[in-house]
Amino acid sequence: MNQTEKAAEFAALHRKGDPVVLYNIWDAGSAKAVVEAGARALATGSWSIAAAHGFGDGEKVPLALLIDIARLIVVSTELPVTVDFEGAYSDDPATGAANVSRLIDAGAIGINFEDQVVGQSGVHALEKQAARIRAIREMADRRGVSLFINARTDLFLQASDAAQHAGLVDEAIARGKAFAEAGASGFFVPWLVDADLIAKVCAASSLPVNVMMRPGAPDLKTLAAAGVARVSYGPFPYRAMMEKLKQEAQVVYQA
């Protein structure tokens, strides 16, 4: 498939009640392993890429290096590849869109794009985040690429106490609506794990909803019943593999 065909295929995988499952990767090697396991599309995780290359999360990976990593993943597979691009490495809408254009040059057909203020606390004002999404959409349209913009809200991620999440749902829904109007393709609500709250978001969203599979999250069957269209695993595959590597190395060194 060419890039246009990959973008269309990836978008078609997002079906409410029949979610596409993305077991997040961090380099070409992990991409090949996940492809061989039966993946239908590939998604990177920012935390995993950063850790695998000796950096902290939060846009600490140099932009040029991230673009190179994305390019290597794309050429390693025939599957669609979406990249966790955090805040697009700029608060400025035009600069962020230009950075995303470089990812398109690398062959990516989608991005995760978050509303948190990277390196600080809180999330961007709704109007500003919508403007940033709009700039990315307009750039991609000019280039003729149906880029899948998975617009992420960090409202739930920044509220460590899950008891607070019910009080954030209405604000999240409002953000999802504004993101959709600005040109987003999907709505990502990481750290939300209550099945009823997830179902409420899905029912209110015109966009396919993405949930992160983490400890405490419902199983895939429950998420599908709630109306989820995409399930991703974030940093957890990398953490599991590194723990396994550590354990195997300990066997060697402690023998």
Summarize pLDDT for 51-100 with one digit per residue, the tens.
999 999 999 999 999 999 999 999 999 999 999 999 999 999 999 999 99
Whole-Å CA distances, 183 to 14, 136, 140, 201: 16, 8, 10, 18
- What is the predicted pLDDT for the residue at 223? 98
CA distance 208 to 22: 14
Closest CA to 18 of 231, 238, 249, 253: 231
- What is the predicted pLDDT for the residue at 230? 98
What pTM was computed for the model? Answer: 0.97
pLDDT tens readout for residues 236-248 = 999 999 999 999 9
- What is the predicted pLDDT for the residue at 72? 98
Average pLDDT on 193-200 reads 98
- What is the predicted pLDDT for the residue at 255? 80
pLDDT tens readout for residues 170-185 = 999 999 999 999 999 9
Beta bridge partners of 211: 231
3-253 has CATH 1.10.287.3510 classification: no
Percent of the chain with pLDDT over 70: 100
- Domain residue extents for the chain: 3-253
Q: What's the pLDDT band for 232 if we cut at 50, 70, 90?
A: very high
Whole-Å CA distances, 136 to 17, 44, 117, 183, 235: 28, 19, 17, 8, 25
Average pLDDT on 102-110 reads 98
Q: Quick one: 12 exposed, middle or buried, by C-beta within 10 A (0-12, 13-18, 19+)?
A: exposed
Neighbour count for residue 236 (Cβ, 10 Å): 18
- What is the predicted pLDDT for the residue at 24? 98
HSE value, Cβ hemisphere, 13 Å, CA-based, for 23: 17
Percent of the chain with pLDDT over 90: 99
HSE value, Cβ hemisphere, 13 Å, CA-based, for 97: 19
Q: What's the pLDDT band for 160 if we cut at 50, 70, 90?
A: confident
